[in-house]
Structure 1
Amino acid sequence: MSNKIVVLFGGNSLEREISLKSGKSILNILKKSGINVIGIDPNTFPLLYLKKFNFKKAFIALHGKGGEDGTIQGILEYLNIPYTGSGVLSSAITINKFLTKIIWKEHGLPIIYPHLLLNKKDFIKKNYLIIEKKILQIKFPIIIKPNCSGSSLGVFKVNHKDDLFHTLEKSFVYDNNILIEKYLKGIEYTIGVLNNKILPPIKIGYSNIFYDYQSKYYSNNTEYFCPSGLNKNKEKELENIILKAWKVLNCKIWGRIDVILDENKNFQLLEINTIPGMTPKSLYPIAARKAGLSFYDLIMKILFLTK
C-alpha cells in the first residue's frame, strides 16, 4: 500500500486532450512494470482525498493551468506527497512567459526583444490607438501568444496592423494577458533537460508559418531531426544557455526549453515547459531515446529522482 504511485492527468486546462494522452502513456508503462499505480483525473476526484490513499509519490502529467502553474504542486506540498518536476514557485513563474523573459533578461540570457504584455481589460476599454502605438514600436510582422498557455494554442502571426485587433480578440479567448513580440525568422530547436543535464537537441522542421498547435499534434509534414545538425561549438553554446536558463528559474528534475536560431546565427530563448508532453508524438521521449533511455527508463528515472 505504501509504495503506491498516483499519475495525475486530464485536468480542466485547454491542454486536457494532450494531458490525457501523456497520462495514459505513463500509466501503461508503470502498470506493465508491476508498480502499484493509479491514474486520477482531478476533474473527477477531490484532490484532498489523495492523503487517504497513502501514495508514496505523484507523477504529474497535467499540462497548462492547474498542472504547470504551481497549483497542483501546492496541493501536493500541503498533503506532503512528493511529486515529479519543478516546485511551486518555479512552476508559477515559468507558466508566465512574460515573467520568465524578465528573469532571463536580468541574467543576461538572450530573449526576443522588444516585447510587451497586453491585458484584456485595456483591450476591452477600446484604447485601440494607445495599443496600436505601442505595438507599432515593435514593427510587423509580430507574434501574439497567450501569456500563460501552452501547446501553441491561441498563437498567431500578424503581418499587418489591419489584421491586428481581430487576431488579438481570437488570442484573448485563451488568456487574459497576451504577449506580443517581434516575429523572428529562424530555425527552432527544443532541448530537454533531465537531472540538470541536457538531452540531445531536436531541430524542428514544419510546413506552417510557425510551429503551431496543428504542426505539433496533427500535421504529417512536421519533421524532427535528432541529432539536430548543429556543429560542436554551436551545440556547446546552446547547452550553456539552456542550463543557465533552467537553473536561474530553479527548475527541477525534468522539462524542456524551446529556442530559435535567428538569421544572425544567434540563439534566442522562447519558452520553457516544466511538464512536457509524453504522447507518442512528444519530443521529450524522442530526445531521451537518442540519449539511450527507453520510455520505461525515462519514466523510472523521473520517478527515482523525485524525493
Structure 2
Amino acid sequence: MTLDLNMDRISVSALGKVAVLFGGDSAERDVSLMSGDGVLAALRAQGVDAHAFDPSKRPLQALKDEGFQRVFIALHGRHGEDGTVQGALELLGIPYTGSGVMASAIAMDKITTKRIWLADGLPTPRWVSLRRDEQQRERVRTVPDELGLPLFVKPPHEGSSMGASKVMGYSQMQEAVELAARFDAVVLCEEFIDGQELTCPVLGDGEDAVALPVIEIRAEQGNYDYQNKYFTDTTQYLVAQLPSELQEEVQTLVLAAYRSLGCRGWGRADLMRRKSDGKLFLLEMNTSPGMTSHSLVPKAAQAVGVSYEHLCLWLLSQARLDSQA
C-alpha cells in the first residue's frame, strides 16, 4: 500500500517564510527540541525558507513583526499543544499546522476527551478523577476498589508519560498521586487494560482524513515510559503487521475518535487491545505528535511510501486558521 499526498502540487515558494515553533516551556521541552530540529532540517532540505523559533525565548508577536507567513508547530504539551499557541496565532492571523484551538484544548485534556468519546459511543478505559481536595489518603486508597489493580495514575494535561505511574498495589497509590499532582491540579486514575499497545496516526481533515498503518509497541517489560519512548533502542515498533481485519478495525475506530474531537491536519491516537477478548480501548489523542528519530507518525508514513521530508512538507502545506477550516 502507498499513500499519494500529491506532493507535485505543493509549491515551496508559495509557502513563504516559515517558523518552526519548538522548545517552549512545557515539561516536554526536550522532546520538542528533538522534534523541531528534525522538522527544520527536513524543510530546509526541500528549499523551504524555514527558521527556528522558540516561544519561550521570544514573544510570538515577533512572528508578525518579522513577516512569517505560516508556522509549523513542533511544540508538545502545555502552551503548544493545548490550544493556547493556536489561539495566539489565530489573533496574529498566521496559519499553523495541526488542529485548531478547540480540538487542541479538548485533546490535551484526557478527561474531557474521554467524556466526549463516551458520549459518541467510543470505548475508553474506566477512570476516576481526583481534584486537589480529593487527593487525601482516605480517598486515594479507595480508588483501586473502583478500578481494580494494577491501574495507571497520570496528570490529564501532560504527554510523553510525564508524571505517569503504573500502580501495582494499594501502598503505591499515594506516591503515584503525589507525583502526578506535581504536573496537574487534577489527577487521572485509569483502569489498566492488559493487552497489546497500539498507536495509529491520522492525516487530513473530516471525512477526507486517512488513517496510516497501525503500529504495535512492544517495550521492555511492557513499560513504555519516557525513557523507552525517546532514549532507548530496545522498544520494538511493529508497523502494519496486524491481521488486515484487525488493522481496519483499529483504523476505523481511530478515525471516529479523531473526527469526534474535531481534529484536523494530523494526529495520533493511542489505544489498547485487551488480551482477554480483543476489545479495543482509546487512551488519548495527540494533536502535535512527536517528530523525533523514535517517533511513530514518521514510521507509519514510511510504511506507505511517504518519507520524513515529504511528510513535513505536506503537513506544512496544510497549515491554516480556524476561519479557513
Q: 1:80 aligned to 87, 90, 93, which one?
A: 93
Shift of 1:134: 4.2
Equivalents in 1 of 2:222, 2:32: separation in Å? 25
Matched, 1:272 2:281: no
Q: Does the 8 Å CA contact 1:4/1:56 hold for their aligned counterparts? A: yes
Q: 1:255 aligned to 267, 285, 294, which one?
A: 267
Equivalents in 1 of 2:143, 2:193: separation in Å? 19
- The correspondence of residues 194-273 of structure 1 with structure 2, limited to 5 A, is 194-195=203-204, 196-227=209-240, 229-263=241-275, 264-273=277-286
Higher mean alpha-carbon deviation, 295-304 vs 72-81, is at: 295-304
Shift of 1:291: 1.2
Q: Does the 8 Å CA contact 1:208/1:215 hold for their aligned counterparts? A: no
Q: Does the 8 Å CA contact 1:192/1:254 hold for their aligned counterparts? A: yes
Q: Does the 8 Å CA contact 2:198/2:271 hold for their aligned counterparts? A: yes
Corresponding residue for residue 146 of structure 1: 155
Shift of 1:214: 1.7
Query: Greater relative contact order (Cα 8 A, min sep 6): structure 1 or 2?
Result: 2
CA RMSD of aligned residues (A): 1.4
Q: Percent of aligned positions with the same letter in both sequences?
A: 39
**Runs of 4+ that moved beyond 6 A:** none
Shift of 1:135: 4.1
Corresponding residue for residue 107 of structure 1: 120
Corresponding residue for residue 190 of structure 1: 199
Matched, 1:290 2:294: no
Stretches of structure 2 lacking an aligned partner (at least 5 in a row): 1-12, 321-325
Equivalents in 2 of 1:232, 1:50: separation in Å? 45
Q: 1:173 aligned to 178, 182, 194, which one?
A: 182
Corresponding residue for residue 62 of structure 2: 49
Higher mean alpha-carbon deviation, 173-182 vs 243-252, is at: 173-182
Secondary structure at the residue paired with 2:200? strand
Corresponding residue for residue 103 of structure 2: 90
Equivalents in 2 of 1:15, 1:267: separation in Å? 28
Shift of 1:160: 1.2
Question: In structure 1, what residue type is equivalent to 2:201?
Answer: G
Stretches of structure 1 lacking an aligned partner (at least 5 in a row): none
Equivalents in 2 of 1:3, 1:220: separation in Å? 37
TM-score by length of 1: 0.95
Question: In structure 2, what residue type is equivalent to 1:83?
Answer: Y
Q: 1:157 aligned to 128, 141, 166, which one?
A: 166
> How many pairs align?
302
Question: In structure 1, what residue type is equivalent to 2:248?
Answer: K
For residues 104-147 of structure 1, the C-alpha deviation after alignment (integer angstroms, 9 at most, x for no partner) is 0110111112x111123432xx3x22332344221221111111
Secondary structure at the residue paired with 1:137? helix
Question: In structure 2, what residue type is equivalent to 1:245?
Answer: A
Shift of 1:219: 2.5
